[in-house]
Amino acid sequence: MNYRNSNFMPKKEKHYEVLIIAIFTIIAIIVGIVIVAKNFSPADPTVDTDIPFHTGDVETDTDDEGNKVDQPIKEEEKYVRKEGVYNFLFVGYDKAAGLTDVNMLAQFDTNTGAINIIQMPRDTYARYNSREGSYHKMNGALGYFERDLGDLADFLEKNLCIKIDYYGSINLVAFRNIVDIIGGVEMYVPRDMKYEDPEQGLYINLKKGYQTLDGKKAEQFVRFRSGYVNADIGRTDAQKLFMTAFMKKFIDSISVSMLTQVGTEVLKHVETNLTLNEFIYFGTKVLSLDLDKLTMMTLPGNSVREYKTSGTWYYVLSRSAMLSSINQYLNVYSRDIPDSIFDPDKMFTNPSVDYMLEIYNTDSGSDVYVGDEVDEDGIYIPATKPSSGTKPVVKDDPVDTEATETEPIEPEETEPYEEENEENDIPDEEGSPDDEL
C-alpha cells in the first residue's frame, strides 16, 4: 500500500506497542565497541553542517539602480554549530500496524556527557499529509513517508527548526529477550496493572511493589495505559521509569558475554544511518554515562478530540513551550531559534480549527525529569483509581516480587482521559478515524 497516495492505512488484527527506543540504540552503540578491536580509536564523526530549515537571516536591500541585493549577515546572528553536540531521531516501528508508537528526539553532548531525551506522544497532531480527512497522528508519519527515515527527519528538521544528525528504527521482537539476558529489571511498580485485549493478544497483570520484571512483565509495564488519567502521557512517564531502571541495571551488569548476547539480539533489528565508526565513537562516550546527566521530558501540549466532542483523540503541541524545549534541549547551534521562523506553516496544529489552534497558541508546561532523581523518587502518574496512587517508603530494601510497604498519595481529582482502543487508532478504509473508545 502506498500511504503517500492514500487517505488510510490498513487495519491489522494485532497492534503491538513499540517500546523504549533510546535504550536499545544506546545498547547497540555499546555493542559496537565489543565487536571491534578494543584498542581501535575511532575518529570524530563528520556531520553535515548545512542548516536544514529556513533561517530568515538573509536581509535584502536595493542598490542605486533599484536592484535587490543580499546584505551580509552579522557574525553574532549566524547559526554556528556547537562542536561535539549531536542530535538523534529514534523510532520504534510496528510492522504489523505500520505505525511508530515511540518517537524520540535525543541530544548527546559528548563534551559534558549529558543526554537529553524528548518524547513525542504517538497521538501528536502533525500535518505531514495535507489531504483533507487524512490521518494526522505522529505515529503514522513513517508509513506516509514509505518507511524512509530520512524523509521523516527532513519533515521534523524543517518544521521544528532542529538538526538531526543520526536516526534509527528498531523492530522490538528482541525486547523481552534483552530484558531476560540482563537478568530482568529491578524497579518499583507504582500501582496494580490489569488489562486484557484478546484481539491484540494483550494480557497485563502486574501487582504494585518492588519486583524484578522479566521480559514478559517488562513488556506489560511499558504497554499499560488504560488506568492512567492521561492515558498515553501517563504511559510515556511510566516508560521514563522503566528507561531509568533499565539503564541503571545494564550499566551495573555490563560484561563482554552479556554484550555479546545482547548484541546478537539488537543488531538483527536496528536500522540506522550510523556507521560502525560512529557506533564505536558514541559508545566510548556513553560508557561513562551518569544518571544525573540524563534528562527526559515529553513535549508539552494537551489532548483534544478531532471534532471537539467526538472523533479521534489528538495531542496538540503548545508552540511556545515546544520552542522553549527545543532551544534548551535540542539546539545544536550557538544562538536560539527565534519564534519568527519556528513551525512556519503551523504543521503541528490545524489552523482552521479554533479549539486546536487555541491549544497550539497557549503556553503549556511540561515536567522535566533527571535520571538520578527518577531513580531515587520515582514519578507520580495520576491514575483513574484512587487506590493506585502510591509511592515507596523504603528505597533500599531488597528486591522482592511482593509489594513492600507503601505510603498513600492523594490522587488528583480529575476526569480520566477517555481510553481509545489502540486497534481502532488506525483510520478505516473510508479515511475517517474510528470513533469507538
Q: What percent of the chain has pLDDT over 90?
A: 40
pLDDT, the chain, mean: 77
Q: Is the C-alpha dihedral spanning 53, 54, 57, 60 positive or negative?
A: positive
SS3 content of the chain, % helix, strand, coil (to 5): 30, 20, 45
Other C-beta atoms lying within 10 Å of the C-beta of residue 403 = 16
Q: Specify the higher pLDDT residue, 382 or 28.
A: 382
Q: Is the C-alpha dihedral spanning 11, 16, 20, 22 positive or negative?
A: negative
pLDDT of residue 29: 53
What is the per-residue pLDDT across 316-365, written as a single tens digit (0 to 9) for each? 999 999 999 999 999 999 999 999 999 999 999 999 999 999 999 999 88
What is the per-residue pLDDT across 383-399, written as a single tens digit (0 to 9) for each? 875 433 333 333 333 34
Average pLDDT of 259-278?
75
| Cα 152 to chain centroid, rounded | 14
Q: Considering the entire predicted model, what is its pTM?
A: 0.75
Cell numbers standing for residue 168? 534509527
What is the per-residue pLDDT across 211-232, written as a single tens digit (0 to 9) for each? 999 999 998 998 888 888 887 8
Length of the chain: 437
Distance CA(46)–CA(73), nearest Å, equals 26
Instruction: Give the residue among 188, 118, 139 at the shortest CA–CA distance from 427.
Output: 139
Domains by residue range for the chain, with CATH = 3-183+215-302+314-375 (3.40.630.190)
Identify whether the C-beta of residue 158 lies closer than 8 Å to the C-beta of residue 335: no
What is the per-residue pLDDT across 142-180, written as a single tens digit (0 to 9) for each? 999 999 999 999 999 999 999 999 998 876 667 788 899
pLDDT of residue 142: 93
Average pLDDT of 425-435?
39
